[in-house]
Chain A
Amino acid sequence: MLRRAVVMSLFVLLLFLAACSGPSALTGPEEVRIGVVAPLTGDIPKVGESTQNAAQMAIDEVNNAGGLEIGDTTYTVVIQVEDNEAKAESSVAAATKLITQDNVVAIIGPQSSKQAVPTGQVANDRETPMISPWSTNPDTTTNRPWVFRAAFLDPFQGPVVASFAQEEFGAQTAAVLYDVASDYPKGLAENFRDAFQAQGGEIVAFETFSTGDTDFSAQLTKIGQANPDVIFTPQYYNEVPLIVQQARELGIAVPVVGSDSWGTPDLLDLCGDACNGLFFSTHYAPDIATEVAQEFISAYEERFGEKPDDVAALTYDAFQLLFAAMREAGSIEKEAIRDQLAEVDRFEGVTGIMSFDDQGDPTKCAVIIQIQSGAFTYYDQACPAGFP
């Protein structure tokens, strides 16, 4: 009996010691917690990795500078990164957990519209500000006052590329090759088609494949047969090299143009010479970037050993936007942050100057990039009508 009592009291003592040494909410500086939802696994793990890197960089910068000053208090920013496995249900669970279990003040992510659309519903219902850096589907923010995004939408980017193709190459005819099972390429392909036709051009081939395909020879042979002046392919950086190389192997020499999903430096390694001279539209040009962007690029490269892609840049911007709104609001109340986010009328980020419309979508310029000897170089700029 005595022995048991001794063991028990030792156990209690141990627990007490544990309690003292364990993480405690009562000590240390004030924390403010931000949730990040990213696809660390699943079909686009690179997107998750870039998100995580950019998020880590954004908060480290703030914390190393002493913390985030909001009102009279200085907060240490903590991020909690959750993997959504590139699955809608996992994304919803992650966001619900972040909001109700971890009490985050805001969520950055998810990146793909497939996850951002349902997750936006959660954020909106639970009244937590959410910024999706990369999602381009209008549904993500439509009628959701709590949801914002950092990327421009398909209906803006499609026409930009269409006009560029017509002006630059004098293209009368165009072919489109896109992934029918993925919403981003499909939306952009359709917007490009409509814009190209509206400006008097003709779409001679509108070909599709499915997510995960690596052989496009059948579609490209068909496109080659239609003999377009230009090929538009709004695909991801890991598919573009295959498309371009296979087109060249099939003897198709016409220019291939693309969209912001090309803008990952991995593309340069993977594609090699085949992509030299090609154009695509995106958010920012690394070579003529503004001071803000230059600093970001060099810091990112130094820390992670690679140039930031568009995901990293947009995620970083989303964080800066959130920090700015929190500082302005002078509070870490969700409602105050949301109101500030909605009122931003000029924010200069890595990906350019943006303001937000009443749906929470940014108005910003697109740049046209040319791939020249293994680097993304600035070529042209296109701004929406009425841009300040």
Chain B
Amino acid sequence: MADVTEITQESKSMVPARNRLVTALNAWFQDKILHAYLLGIFAGVLLERTVGIVIARLLGLRDLPVLFGLLNVFEAFGDLDLSGILEPLFPTTNIPNPWQQAGAALVDVLVTIGSDIPLALLTTLQVTAYNLIIYGVPVFLAALVLNPALRGVVRRLPRAFNLGLLVALTYGIFWAWGGETAYRELVLMYLGINIILTVSLNLINGYMGEFSVGHAGFMGVGAYAASVLTMRLFTDSPAFGPALLPGLTDLPFGLHVLIGFPIALIAGGVAAALTGLLVAFPSFRTRGDYLAIVTLAVNFIVQAALNNMEIVGGPRGLRGVPLWSNFTWVFVVTLLSIFAIRNLVNSTFGKGIVAIREDEIASGLMSVNTRGVKLVAFLTSSFLAGVAGGLFAHVLAYVNPGVFGIFKSTEALVMVYLGGMGSISGSIIAAFIFTFITEALRPLGVLKWVLIPLLLILLMIYRPQGLFGNRELHFNIGGREEE
């Protein structure tokens, strides 16, 4: 009987949920062509790169705002230390007047907060003005002027061409934005990796309705496999000795990276997918929380195995991975991953994945090859996690078993449910929000990880289905329908 309740709950997702957020966003995006918005943003970024510092100084800022000024605002609270409040009440030894001390500390903290607020408000004002001037005005103008001007042209272009144009434009925006500092570029690379992780986990947790809690394990396998391959083939390292293909590194234009990196990433993905079999086979017989434990166990097993492999450094980790990832690589791979998942879930085969979520037995009766579908879903998901791991290793130039623990898995989970189960655009937006928030809250130190879960809880209470539920954003990209 308990199953009935579950089915009634889950079948809600079959009816297109009324999601005012998505509807409003869609209306907004459908109204004007995407080209106009993107060109506006691009103009904003160029504006920032050229006269941004002048405007920032005029507004009284010391430097360009970091991460759209989010970080600057929180910096005002950087001196906040709450640890005195409860420390006297939960002491390490007997202390006199604990309540008095705790009260004094509380007053101190309140005073600190009070004295920080003016600076925070001021900074908020400054960065809001900055963002409006640098980004708000160009986007507004572009929407106003460029939309009518370009609309006609864009409509006559083939759809595929438009799509390419938009991708190029998006790349240009990120490239120009990230070019300002290495920190921005790094954040963008983390963003791409987080998007791949989220989208691939969404395939299992969102579309197929399973509960995988060990995604970081696959990422770890991919990271190590890809690193070992590039180190073995292309670099001289104390761990593996001289490069097997030293001649290739002399090729012009870094051709060896162009050849070697995709191979390494694919190898990482394949290794991760093979590990994914450890989950895929049990999934034929077991479901739900039991399968969750299987994924959790696989995560622990991967970590324990890596810790015991002397050849890859054990707990010391593997140093000397070449620094091959850059923003372009991450962008291309992220794009490919998104397209792969999108095409998979929109295909007939992909409908089988959703069918399994709604009712496994019924879908089996309706001629869905449930085992085959599950196998493909788990293999795809773990493959992409492995690719993300490969990118990640080549960003850090170092891997360590500790990185791929349960905490990393939890982050991926949070992003999936933040965005909405079964929504690719939701996953992308969630990865965006999560990556930026975790960076922007840096100045808060310990409080960062108090605030993030608090936001998560509030969001879940008010939007249990995540930001986007199972709906997608649609953009007006113009172009002739070729069908």
Footprint of B on A, CB under 8 Å? Answer: 14-15, 18-25, 40-41, 45, 49, 81-83, 85, 87-90, 92-94, 96-97, 99-101, 113-114, 117-118, 121, 125-126, 137, 139, 180-183, 186-187, 210-211, 266, 269
Which size bracket describes the interface of B in this complex? 35 or more
Tell me if B396 and A183 are in contact (CB < 8 A): no
Residues from chain A with a CB closer than 8 A to the CB of B402 are: 88, 114, 181, 211
Tell me if A101 and B398 are in contact (CB < 8 A): no
A181 to B442 alpha-carbon distance, docked (Å): 27
Q: How far is the CB of A232 from chain B (nearest CB, A)?
A: 18
Tell me if A83 and B446 are in contact (CB < 8 A): yes
Give me the 4 closest cross-chain CB pairs, A-B, nearest first. Answer: A19-B60, A22-B60, A118-B398, A100-B181
Q: How far is the CB of B89 from chain A (nearest CB, A)?
A: 16
Candidates B61, B317, B448; contact of A117 at CB < 8 Å: B317
Residues from chain A with a CB closer than 8 A to the CB of B181 are: 100-101
Q: How far is the CB of A15 from chain B (nearest CB, A)?
A: 6
A187 to B123 alpha-carbon distance, docked (Å): 47
Minimal Cβ-Cβ distance residue in A for B307: A181
For window 86-139 of B, CB contacts with A under 8 Å fall at 92-93, 122-123, 125-126, 129
Minimal Cβ-Cβ distance residue in A for B401: A181
Tell me if B398 and A121 are in contact (CB < 8 A): yes
Q: How far is the CB of B148 from chain A (nearest CB, A)?
A: 25
Tell me if A82 and B442 are in contact (CB < 8 A): yes
A99 to B315 alpha-carbon distance, docked (Å): 28
> Is B12 in the interface zone, CB < 8 Å from A?
no
Candidates A14, A18, A125, A266; contact of B323 at CB < 8 Å: A125
Residues from chain A with a CB closer than 8 A to the CB of B152 are: none
Known: A89-B190, A89-B403. A101 touches B445 (CB 8 A): no
Chain B 288-304, CB-CB to A under 8 Å as 1, else 0, gives 00000000000000011
Footprint of A on B, CB under 8 Å? Answer: 58-63, 66, 83, 92-93, 122-123, 125-126, 129, 181-183, 186-187, 190, 303-304, 307-308, 314-317, 319, 323, 392, 395-398, 400-403, 407, 438-439, 442, 445-446, 448-449
Q: How far is the CB of B475 from chain A (nearest CB, A)?
A: 30
A251 to B317 alpha-carbon distance, docked (Å): 37
Candidates A22, A85, A93; contact of B183 at CB < 8 Å: A93
Candidates B62, B125, B397; contact of A118 at CB < 8 Å: B397
Tell me if B183 and A180 are in contact (CB < 8 A): no
Residues from chain B with a CB closer than 8 A to the CB of A101 are: 63, 66, 181, 183
Tell me if B92 and A186 are in contact (CB < 8 A): no
Candidates A18, A83, A93, A210; contact of B186 at CB < 8 Å: A93
Minimal Cβ-Cβ distance residue in A for B62: A25
A336 to B438 alpha-carbon distance, docked (Å): 35
Question: Chain A CB within 10 Å — which of B398, B438, B448 has the most?
Answer: B398
Tell me if B183 and A18 are in contact (CB < 8 A): no
Candidates B129, B190, B445; contact of A81 at CB < 8 Å: B445
A101 to B184 alpha-carbon distance, docked (Å): 9
Residues from chain B with a CB closer than 8 A to the CB of A19 are: 58-60, 126
Q: How far is the CB of B73 from chain A (nearest CB, A)?
A: 13
Residues from chain A with a CB closer than 8 A to the CB of B439 are: 93, 97
Tell me if B187 and A93 are in contact (CB < 8 A): yes
Known: A118-B396, A125-B323, A126-B182. A15 touches B401 (CB 8 A): no
Residues from chain A with a CB closer than 8 A to the CB of B63 are: 25, 101
Residues from chain B with a CB closer than 8 A to the CB of A210 are: 304, 307
Inter-chain contact count A-B, CB under 8 Å? Answer: 131
A117 to B126 alpha-carbon distance, docked (Å): 38
Candidates B83, B92, B122, B319; contact of A18 at CB < 8 Å: B122
Tell me if B448 and A41 are in contact (CB < 8 A): yes
A21 to B118 alpha-carbon distance, docked (Å): 11
Residues from chain A with a CB closer than 8 A to the CB of B129 are: 15
12 interchain pairs, CB-CB under 8 A: A15-B125, A18-B122, A19-B58, A23-B60, A24-B62, A89-B392, A93-B186, A93-B187, A97-B439, A118-B397, A181-B304, A183-B314
A342 to B335 alpha-carbon distance, docked (Å): 45
Tell me if A92 and B316 are in contact (CB < 8 A): no
Candidates B183, B317, B400; contact of A97 at CB < 8 Å: B183
Question: Chain A CB within 10 Å — which of B122, B395, B407 has the most?
Answer: B122
Minimal Cβ-Cβ distance residue in B for A187: B316
Known: A45-B446, A93-B190, A97-B183. A180 touches B308 (CB 8 A): yes
Q: How far is the CB of A29 from chain B (nearest CB, A)?
A: 15
What 5 additional pairs, Cβ within 8 angstroms, besides A41-B449, A94-B442, A187-B316? Answer: A18-B59, A25-B62, A25-B63, A88-B317, A101-B66
Q: How far is the CB of B352 from chain A (nearest CB, A)?
A: 36
A89 to B448 alpha-carbon distance, docked (Å): 16
A114 to B62 alpha-carbon distance, docked (Å): 34
Q: How far is the CB of B116 from chain A (nearest CB, A)?
A: 13
Known: A15-B126, A18-B60. A96 touches B403 (CB 8 A): no
Residues from chain B with a CB closer than 8 A to the CB of A87 are: 403, 407
Tell me if A121 and B397 are in contact (CB < 8 A): yes
Residues from chain A with a CB closer than 8 A to the CB of B61 are: 22
Residues from chain A with a CB closer than 8 A to the CB of B62 are: 23-25
Q: How far is the CB of B310 from chain A (nearest CB, A)?
A: 10
Q: How far is the CB of A321 from chain B (nearest CB, A)?
A: 24
Residues from chain B with a CB closer than 8 A to the CB of A183 are: 314-317
Tell me if B125 and A18 are in contact (CB < 8 A): yes
A73 to B432 alpha-carbon distance, docked (Å): 44
Q: How far is the CB of A57 from chain B (nearest CB, A)?
A: 15
Known: A100-B182, A139-B319. A41 touches B446 (CB 8 A): yes
Tell me if A99 and B92 are in contact (CB < 8 A): no
Q: How far is the CB of B410 from chain A (nearest CB, A)?
A: 12
Residues from chain B with a CB closer than 8 A to the CB of A181 are: 303-304, 307, 315, 401-402
A183 to B303 alpha-carbon distance, docked (Å): 14
Question: Chain B CB within 10 Å — which of A18, A40, A41, A99 has the most?
Answer: A18
